Chains A and B, each alone.
Chain A
């Protein structure tokens, strides 16, 4: 259980305390990952099923490693078809998997609300690994973890999220978590990529990158998906890159010296982020990947019902 929740569908419904519960446990989990033998028996005998209806390498691998480090058995089920195409319905697929008795079903789906739908119809815990443009809670948590690790606390910090906010589940999960930890959020992108009413989620909206990143402690750069070009949200990547992309020159001129750059990956190098920034000293992108495993270990541990006595810090390697 994460606080009072049996599922992790999104961060909107999580309180500050519930978010901190995951982040604090993830700190212990990260220590496990630094050991020579990266294996603890906390979830021995538990089954984690990764049910992915959208291709994903990073998130699926991260959940898989997290499960394995905790000694859970992980099964990857990649379903190319959703129920909009011919084939099994989402519910049938989930019911079939449920019959195999998993403890946690990790699901990624292109339809917003698909994890909510599954949580209503299956008996095991459901973890969203991203649904449509709704939420990507483990990404939101790992962003919080990475920023907290860097700054000690998010209290009074400001984070800018730049890119296609309309289609971004990462932006929504960040918006539902960062402010609960005391950070302010600015959103930036071309007006065609800013969804209606997003200010009501507690962010300020900017269309000019320079003002958006002025004085911030961190910038989350979102991937520009090629299918959006000519959607017609933007004319082309060249113009996008010129006005909303970040390179070393802009970073040096516009950002505070201590400001860091995050990106949920995979990066479109040269579009939203130039290589000199992605690989430069401000980048915490690879920290995010490493922290992602620790955060997902914490999520699986809490939801698969690891017993209190089995907390990893008490388990010898």
Chain B
């Protein structure tokens, strides 16, 4: 019999658990850090922590396949403690930490450090992603077996493509020995050149150098083709083009072992927002914001299951790296604290169902990398998000939990907010928590 103090009862909310096929008013009981029960009537034992979730959604804690926590090496942008604090504030209870740290996470000591820092922060679960190549230089394979043993859940040179087709082939082949997916940042650097935004009429008008959609498409097509040769598991990061979605849909139809993610900003913003921002680098990221047609194709791909997951690509940068000319500013925007309301707006516009939204934030990503969580099945980790889908709030970057402020949503009113987050049955975020 567990101590009632370790029991949480989340009462009367609309439980949406796509993995378990649940959508209705239920109460969720967490006991000993795990999901104990989801049912219509629950008596809360005295001493239990009771959360009144009437009018709210109760979902598995969100799983983000793609965040940059910047530790070790760039703690002036973000740390594992601040990044995971921002994560739980956004409803994310598991985050996959990309390896473009300094030094890169291409060896077990960096992986171990990340896990130790995450444990001491005690907020979101952190799943490190190891590098595909040593130093992310695209020259030699990293030690996949060692990385997996230390706790890495996938491999990626994110931030950079694996430009060598020969090396990419070997990476896909070698990764099969350890069952790790290879998460690819698809961009042909020769086509990118010095481009800083989507190539097309808008870039032409702004006089900014363009990146054609084909810079992504040709690499997606290359890797889908290699996958036929090698087997292994391919995961496509932050898709941004209609061409990628088309290629992916065709590959999935043929049964290739490929999964994919899309960011909230690529679902919600376009190159026109870059123009409207008057060269604001908080609208500069890689891949760049594309056209309205691309955003529509991404939404359709997400809706029909071609794309598995919403991932934020949370990329904190300091004002010194962002308050610059557009050309000079670094790529990347924050995402953890705004992902849910930004994507919920696409639901209200009719592009996605509520169930599909929750699926793409929970079990969808969990399956891509084989992570625990993303479900409220009995015995699953006690990771839960309580969300108020009607709460409107104004995004004030100064009040976010991230160390950085580079969000394109600054000053905008968003609707939908995480009010409570539980990790392993522990309350780790509640609305109104001070920064």
Contact = CB atoms under 8 A, between A and B. Distances in A.
A107 to B, nearest CB: 11
Interface in B311-361: 320, 323-328
B325 A90 contact: yes
A36 interface: no
Contact of B328 (A12, A84, A195, A197): A84
Contact of A132 (B199, B202, B327): B327
Contacts of B326: 111-113, 117
A195 B204 contact: yes
Interface stretch (B205-213, B223-231, B246-254, B388-396): B205-213
B187 to A, nearest CB: 18
A89 to B, nearest CB: 6
Contacts of B203: 195-196
A134 interface: yes
B199 A196 contact: yes
Contacts, number: 81
Contacts of B199: 196
A201 interface: yes
B201 interface: yes
A273 interface: no
A111 B196 CA distance: 11
B1 to A, nearest CB: 62
Given A82-B325, A111-B328, A114-B325, A196 B207 contact: no
Contact of B324 (A91, A110, A116): A91
A71 B327 CA distance: 36
Interface in B275-290: 278-279
B200 interface: yes
A239 to B, nearest CB: 22
Interface centre among B200, B202, B203, B328 (most CB of A within 10 A): B328
B145 to A, nearest CB: 40
Contacts of B204: 195-198, 200-201
B291 to A, nearest CB: 10
A198 B9 CA distance: 60
B324 A112 contact: no
B206 A112 contact: yes
A83 B207 contact: no
Given A135-B207, A169-B207, A172-B207, A109 B201 contact: no
Nearest to A198: B204
A174 interface: no
A83 B278 contact: no
A197 to B, nearest CB: 3
Nearest to A118: B325
Interface in A56-89: 82-84, 89
Contact of A111 (B200, B278, B323, B327): B327
A134 B203 CA distance: 9
Contacts of B200: 196-197
| Chain A residues touching B, range | 20 to 34
A154 interface: no
A196 B324 contact: no
B192 to A, nearest CB: 14
B323 A91 contact: yes
Nearest to A168: B207
A83 B324 contact: yes
A133 interface: yes
A79 to B, nearest CB: 13
A131 interface: yes
Interface in B174-215: 199-210, 212
Contacts of B205: 12, 172, 197, 200-201
A113 B279 CA distance: 6
A4 interface: no
B325 A111 contact: yes
Contacts of B320: 89
A135 to B, nearest CB: 7
A134 B201 contact: no
Interface centre among B199, B203, B324, B325 (most CB of A within 10 A): B325
B328 to A, nearest CB: 5
A226 interface: no
A44 B320 CA distance: 38
Nearest to A114: B325
Interface string A135-150: 1000000000000000
B324 to A, nearest CB: 5
B227 to A, nearest CB: 31
A299 B202 CA distance: 27
Nearest to B327: A111
A117 B325 contact: yes
Given A12-B205, A196-B210, A89 B324 contact: yes
15 contacts: A89-B320, A90-B324, A91-B324, A110-B327, A111-B325, A111-B328, A113-B208, A113-B279, A117-B326, A132-B207, A133-B208, A172-B205, A195-B210, A196-B212, A197-B205
Given A91-B324, A114-B325, 18 more contacts: A83-B328, A89-B324, A91-B323, A109-B325, A112-B206, A113-B327, A116-B279, A117-B325, A132-B208, A169-B207, A172-B205, A195-B204, A196-B199, A196-B212, A197-B201, A200-B201, A201-B201, A201-B205
Q: Which 6 A-B pairs have the closest CB atoms?
A: A197-B201, A134-B207, A113-B279, A111-B325, A133-B207, A112-B207
